[in-house]
Amino acid sequence: MRKRVNQPTGWKGASGTKVHYHLYEHDYDYYPESWTDEEGRDFREGYYDENGNYYANILADGATTMLKCEYCGNRILYTMKEGDLPSCDKCGSQFDIQIKDKVADDKRQSKSKIIDNIYMFIGLGAVLFYICMFVGVCVFMISGAAKAFNEKKEESSQTVYVEEILRNCSLDGEDWYDPVTETWFWFNDEEQPYQWQYWVEGISSDYGDYGWMEYDPDESAWYIETSDGVWTLLPDKYDASSLWHMNDEYTNQFEED
């Protein structure tokens, strides 16, 4: 907006609103009727620019202005077209136009250059967008494949095939678990001699916090931990024939590569 000086005074706007035009050569206030201010100064219907210059009619590039016929007083709203001289639709006279406010040709060019640049920018944006989408999809697919691979790897490392019972067993927490015989088992490599230990539902569960069992292949006998560090022969009341154990008690075949 240009700084306004020498402006009309005392406008009351009884019959309409003052309209402001911010155009290429000037800024204009349009007053829809004539009036007299309190000190008796007369002002006329029409346009006053930022310097207080008066125009009865203006044409504006890309804007609609009110035009008034100086012969019959008819008013029309008119949007400027190149090479077109507006005439009154009541009496046929040509409107008296004081100024055609339009973009200077060099500015119009730079304006269209700016628009070209904007389109180029949008075009580049679109290209970048598609590249990002493509890369994103690739990364997504690769990470998905990697995840699936890892899951599979993890899955295979958490399942073992136990020859003695001819089936797969999975990790349940720290221990392997066979759901058919309700047996948890692990290779105890914390105390010598390293060997397999078994916790069997229905037997071990009778011993509260203890109840881990070991099989002694030399004696062909089962031992059970009945309290801390106390290992006793498995009592006869338990059916030992229902138990299974590793063929080699002292080898952890699941950790061999």
Q: Give the shortest CB-90-to-Zn ion separation in angstroms.
A: 5
Binder of Zn ion out of 19, 72, 122, 142 (CB under 5 A): 72
Q: Between 72 and 135, whose beta carbon lies closer to Zn ion? A: 72
Contact (Cβ atoms closer than 8 angstroms) between residue 130 and residue 138? no
69 contributes a contact to Zn ion by CB under 5 A:
yes
What x/- string results for residues 78 through 97 when contact with Zn ion is judged by CB under 5 A? ----------x-xx-x----
Q: Between 72 and 133, whose beta carbon lies closer to Zn ion? A: 72
Tokens 């706007």: give the residue: 13
Q: Where are the beta strands (DSSP E) in 133-206?
A: 159-162, 167-172, 175-178, 183-188, 195-200
Contact (Cβ atoms closer than 8 angstroms) between residue 200 and residue 240? no
Q: Give the shortest CB-19-to-Zn ion separation in angstroms.
A: 22
Q: Between 91 and 142, whose beta carbon lies closer to Zn ion? A: 91
Q: Give the shortest CB-10-to-Zn ion separation in angstroms.
A: 29
Q: Give the shortest CB-91-to-Zn ion separation in angstroms.
A: 3
Q: Give the shortest CB-121-to-Zn ion separation in angstroms.
A: 48
Q: Between 73 and 125, whose beta carbon lies closer to Zn ion? A: 73
Q: Among 75, 82, 76, 74, which Cα is nearest to 100's?
A: 82
Question: Can you read off the two tokens belonging to residue 51?
Answer: 């310097």
74 contributes a contact to Zn ion by CB under 5 A:
yes
125 HSE (CA, 13 A, CB side): 6
Stretch that binds Zn ion, among 34-42, 68-76, 120-128, 202-210 (CB under 5 A): 68-76
Question: Can you read off the two tokens belonging to residue 23?
Answer: 């155009």
Q: Among 57, 60, 52, which Cα is nearest to 71's?
A: 57
Q: Among 32, 127, 35, 21, which Cα is nearest to 80's?
A: 21
67 contributes a contact to Zn ion by CB under 5 A:
no
Q: Among 253, 234, 241, 113, which Cα is nearest to 169's?
A: 253
Tell me how many residues contact Zn ion (CB under 5 A): 8
Q: Give the shortest CB-45-to-Zn ion separation in angstroms.
A: 15
Sites of contact with Zn ion (CB under 5 A): 69, 71-72, 74, 88, 90-91, 93
